[in-house]
Structure 1
Amino acid sequence: MYNYLEYGSSGDSRGVVEDQEKYDQFMARIEAGEKIEADDWMPEDYRQGLIKLISMHGISEIMGALPEKEWTPKAPTLKRKLGIMAKVQDEMGHGQLLLRVAEDLMKPYGKDRGDIIEDMLSGDLKFHNVFHMPTKTWADAGMVGWLVDGAAIISQTNMLDASYGPYQRALQRICQEEVFHAQHGEAIIMALAEGTDYQREILQESLNRWWPSLLMFFGPASAETTGSSKQDIMIKYKIRKSSNEELRQAFLDKYLPRVFSLDLTVPDETVHYDEEKEQWVYQQPDWNEFKQIIKNKGPRSKERLRLREIAYENNRWVRQALAADKVGS
């Protein structure tokens, strides 16, 4: 039942009926597969859930460019340098696209993209755990493209039919480009896997370091673990289809056979496929560590946030000039 008191109706009996009718019509549209647009009526928890999801996604795209940006000047060949530069450019473009989608949802509150950036810098808005981690070797550049972007594709394709039209359409474009990013990463991984003993050594070492972060990527399995029902709200409103654990299992289904085919191992002796349950069994990552990482207490959190803070301050004059021009027109 739609709680009109929680979401701010007029409070009189007529307002209650009207809001209930709007909610029922809204849910009927979603159940019928219709897309909700920015100017349509929507429940407050739907709007707030979308703002948080899309803002986090957009910021993660921007912050996700930084680990690979560190390897742009150190890429081993000109071809690899051009490839990683193009990927970084794409990720920043994805971030800008998503922040525009989030901005439209924030208009009723008088907020804009600048508020999203400021929320990130203050720690109020989180970004994906994987982008707090260091990239120590060239193998890490491949690992980000192959497995991190692979995990992102699984997560994002789960929302390709999202009930919110602007996000769904943005995801169509983003997922197409992410496929190329994953292929870029896989090409690096294959070259290392077929290379020298040293190249295979840094590849295995990279996988060992990234494995816990990859398992954490999809978030804890249940509301009991997180103390939150965000997953349920997203599924209820048909923004996403699958739970965190279902997405993690899909990732393991796709990538563990590929990892093993390269004669690589994962740092977990318990990993095996349970034929009876038809799912992978694995050692749970340290979810307390996960909570600390997304609170900006990861290995590279401070350095990467500082880079974004410097960029934000250095470009303040551009925002001020554009704002003044808008007022003048």
Structure 2
Amino acid sequence: MYNYIPDGDYVANDYSEVDQEKYEAFMERIEAGEKIEADDWMPDDYRQALIKLISMHGISEIMGALPEKEWVPKAPTLKRKLGIMAKVQDEMGHGQLLLRVAEDLMKPYGKTRENLMEDLLSGDLKFHNVFHMPTKTWADAGMVGWMVDGAAIISQTNMLDASYGPYQRALQRICAEEVFHAQHGEAIIMALAEGNEHQREILQESLNRWWPALLMFFGPPSADTTGSSKQNIMMKYRIRKSNNEELRQAFLDKYLPRAFSLGLTVPDDTIHYDEEKGQWVYQQPDWKEFKNIIKNNGPRSKERLRLREIAYEKNRWVRQALIPQEMSS
């Protein structure tokens, strides 16, 4: 009945007359602003869209903790060390919460959270492009909190009224905590921007390196005009409100003025605000490189996946101990 493909195309809806009535009733609920729950009937492509979105989001929260985890022992003060440790802990918690939400959606396929982790390690489940990048300096730890988490907040608040109730409720908690993460990153950035010449240099160098990845964060603009693209399907079902380019423009609106006010520049001589169009004009990143990165060919992809694999294997005994005896026999 179902065809779960972690990184494949959405399953097309092909309903009987009875299911067509269910589909029309489902769309009426969506358009009325009602929330869909895990046990409710839902179209195949709605379920597929949610699984792919939520599993990628959850895995990205877990993988996203790894770049900052590298700086826990190297943070410059005890206060900074405690701050980044708390942030890493929060991100792992977000990941576990989201994978639990995804697991409920996967029940018709007989899949569990363990299958999602196996999909990650096999390369079938992707994680966000920014978390394949290196964190070379303390400024990078600040950049992840300030701009990467800032981009995440823009993306996630766009779904705070998502039609799927369990995800919408999870986002309420996650977004509230992400605000603190962004403030944590901003505090690091401000300290560096107000510091000595070397600190300002590593801050600028960090922004230069992260800029292409930040532009890629929201995904490529859709060339699809038929309404069948992944982002259009999610907008149709009121999972999200805005498309990729609208989210990227919101990010530029918020963060470019802040960066410029700190005396920072971005590595793009073409960037400017078009008053007539009411949007930023910028140089498109290399979208072929984006696709290569999310296929686990980024600068730190292999190392971070290996670290996740080691942790997964070392803690297998904990998962086995939690399985009721009658299920394990």
**Matched-pair contact (CA < 8 Å) for 2:12–2:45:** no
Residue 106 of structure 1 aligns with an amino acid whose one-letter code is M
| Residue 283 of structure 2 corresponds to residue 286 of structure 1 | no
Query: 1:80, 1:318 → 2: CA distance?
Result: 31
The Cα shift of 1:328 comes to: 7.3
Match of 2:102 in 1: 102
- The CA distance in 2 between the partners of 1:263 and 1:311, in whole Å, is 41
Instruction: Assess if the C-alpha contact under 8 Å between 1:62 and 1:91 holds in 2.
Output: yes
For residues 215-236 of structure 1, give each alpha carbon's deviation from its aligned partner in whole angstroms, at most 9, with x where no partner exists: 00000011459x9710110000
Residues 1-329 of structure 1: pairs in structure 2 closer than 5 A: 6-7=12-13, 16-224=16-224, 229-325=229-325, 327=327
CA distance in 2, matches of 1:326, 1:284: 56
Give the deviation of 1:207 after TM superposition.
0.2
**How far apart are residue 323 of structure 1 and its match?**
2.0
TM-score (norm 2): 0.94
Once residues 162 and 6 of structure 1 are traced to their aligned partners in structure 2, the CA distance between those partners, rounded to angstroms, is 22
Contact 2:159 2:168 in 1 (8 A): yes
- Whether the aligned pair in 2 keeps the contact of 1:142 and 1:186 (CA below 8 Å) is yes
CA distance in 1 between partners of 2:274 and 2:58 (Å): 36
Q: Residue in 1 aligned with 2:6? A: none
What's the secondary structure of 2:23's corresponding residue?
A: helix
1:74 is aligned with what amino acid? K
Matched AA of 2:298: G
What code does the residue aligned with 1:320 have? Q
Post-superposition offset of 1:17: 1.8
CA–CA separation in structure 2 for the residues paired with 1:228 and 1:137: 42
Q: 1:175 deviation in Å?
A: 0.1
Distance change in 2, residues 1:231/1:326 (3 Å): farther
Instruction: Check 1:325–1:269 CA distance in 2 against 1; reply closer, same or farther (3 A cut).
Output: same
Q: Per-residue deviation at 1:290?
A: 0.3
Conserved 8 A contact 1:192-1:200: yes
Structure 1 length-normalised TM: 0.94
Alpha-carbon distance in 1 for matches of 2:128, 2:202: 24
**Gaps spanning 5+ residues in structure 2: where?**
1-10
Of Structure 1 and Structure 2, which has the larger fraction of its residues in helix? 1
Residue 249 of structure 2 aligns to a residue in which SS? Answer: helix
Distance 1:86 1:311, change over 3 A: same
Query: How far is 1:318 from its partner?
Result: 1.7
* Counterpart residue identity of residue 272, structure 1: H
Partner AA of 2:275 in structure 1? E
Q: How far apart, CA to CA, are the structure 1 residues paired with 2:12 and 2:282? A: 40
CA drift of 1:67 comes to: 0.3
Cα RMSD for the two superposed structures: 1.6
| Aligned counterparts of 2:153 and 2:223: Cα–Cα separation in 1 | 23
- 1:315 offset after TM fit, Å? 1.3
> For the residues of structure 1 that align with 2:185 and 2:72, how far apart are their CA atoms?
14
Equivalent-residue separation in structure 1 for 2:177 and 2:328 (angstroms) = 38
Per-residue CA deviation, residues 28-68 of structure 1 (Å, 9 max, x unaligned), is 00000000000000000000110000000000000000000
1:76 aligns to what SS in structure 2? coil
Q: 1:8 to 1:317 in 2, by over 3 A?
A: farther
Q: Secondary structure at the match of 2:135?
A: coil
| Equivalent-residue separation in structure 2 for 1:326 and 1:229 (angstroms) | 45
Question: Secondary structure of the equivalent of 1:127?
Answer: coil
Q: Distance in 1 between matches of 2:279 and 2:35?
A: 33
Deviations along 1:106-165, whole A, 9 cap, x unmatched? Answer: 011110000000001111010100000000000000000000000000000000000000
Q: Is the 8 A contact 1:223 1:231 kept in 2?
A: no
Q: 2: distance between equivalents of 1:72 and 1:168?
A: 31
Aligned length: 318
| Alpha-carbon offset, residue 327 of structure 1 | 2.4
Could you list the structure 1 runs, at least 4 aligned residues long, displaced by more than 6 angstroms after superposition. Answer: none
User: Secondary structure of 2:323's match?
Assistant: helix
1:244, distance to aligned residue in structure 2 (A) = 0.1
Q: What SS is found at the alignment partner of 1:73?
A: coil
CA distance in 1, matches of 2:37, 2:278: 39
Say if 1:38 and 1:166, in contact at 8 Å, map to a contact too.
yes
